[in-house]
Amino acid sequence: MSREASPADVLGFEVRGIKGEPIRFGDFAGKVVLVVNTASRCGFTPQYAGLQKLHETFGPRGLVVIGCPCNQFGAQEPEGEAGIARFCELNYGVDFLLTEKIEVNGPGAHPLFRYLTSACPGVLGTQPVKWNFTKFLIDKAGVPVRRYAPTTSPAALADDIEALLSRFAFQRAVGSDGSFSDSQYSPSWPTACRKRSKSTGLRM
């Protein structure tokens, strides 16, 4: 999908992987997705270890972790894609998905992040990403449900991820024309990103 497209939900987006391969969010229908803008020379860079732990713990149950390297904050991701991939593997054993270097703010922001920041504003309703390792949690229907600050450790997301993995029954088929059809969908999570769920107590 072109960078100018505006899908109706996250499942319509596509990004290029760190090795040039397409990463199609439609392939993650029925899975919980965690999107994080990352950097290799940031004080929060050790969070890569925590993200890898989430991937190892919840990946077999349907969590997809996607790191999106970005150089917009303090020029803390200066390397090219090959260098980033090597750094992440050698230092943190990362084997979850990484995208090519992208922008998350401004006129060059990838449409995925334009969508996520609009759907899940930050403090006081501000949309732009504030720093590296801002995190967006997306439910099995492709709906962003919570945004986390860079200071929030990956381990702190575990309960929210567990809730999303446990509380949905969802299947979505992709037609030959690229359209989606729902064969089963039992929502149990509010769609408003930053409201508190009375049933789960989760702040979104």
Question: Is 202 a member of any domain?
Answer: no
What pLDDT is attached to residue 123?
A: 79
What pLDDT is attached to residue 176?
A: 55
Residue 100: pLDDT band (50, 70, 90) is very high
pLDDT tens digits for range 59-88: 999 999 999 999 999 999 999 999 999 999
Cα 2 from Cα 18, distance rounded (Å): 17
Q: Does 139 have pLDDT greater than 70? A: yes
Cα 66 from Cα 48, distance rounded (Å): 11
What Å distances lie between residue 40 and 55, 101, 103, 195, CA to CA? Answer: 19, 12, 15, 32
Phi/psi for 102 (5° steps) reads -135, 170
Could you tell me the end-to-end alpha-carbon distance of the chain, in angstroms, rounded to an integer?
Answer: 29
Cα 128 from Cα 120, distance rounded (Å): 10
Question: Is 203 a member of any domain?
Answer: no
Question: Is 142 a member of any domain?
Answer: yes
What pLDDT is attached to residue 9?
A: 76
Q: How far is CA 124 from the centre of its chain?
A: 21
Mean pLDDT for 105-130 is 91
Task: Take residue 17 and report the two structure tokens written for it.
Answer: 């992987």
Determine which of 16-30, 74-88, 176-190 has the lowest per-residue pLDDT on average. Answer: 176-190
Question: Is 204 a member of any domain?
Answer: no
| Mean pLDDT estimate for the chain | 85
Of the residues 42, 70, 120, 193, only one is catalytic, namely: 42
Domain interval for residue 41: 10-185
SS (H, E, C) the chain: CCCCCCCCCHHHCEEEECCCCEEEHHHHCCCEEEEEEECCCCCCCCHHHHHHHHHHHHHHHCEEEEEEECCCCCCCCCCCHHHHHHHHHHHHCCCCEEECCCCCCCCCCCHHHHHHHHHCCCHHHCCCCCCCCCEEEECCCCCEEEEECCCCCHHHHHHHHHHHHHCCCEEEEECCCCCEEEEEECCCCCCCCCCECCCCCCEC
Question: What is the CATH classification number for the domain harbouring 44?
Answer: 3.40.30.10
Question: Is 104 a member of any domain?
Answer: yes
Question: Is 92 a member of any domain?
Answer: yes
Question: Is 88 one of the annotated active-site residues of the chain?
Answer: no
Question: Is 152 a member of any domain?
Answer: yes
What pLDDT is attached to residue 125?
A: 74
Q: Which residues contact 201 (CB under 8 A, 6 or more apart)?
A: none
Task: Take residue 23 and report the two structure tokens written for it.
Answer: 């990463």
Report the number of distinct structural domains present in the chain: 1
Identify whether the C-beta of residue 164 lies closer than 8 Å to the C-beta of residue 64. no
Question: Is 59 a member of any domain?
Answer: yes
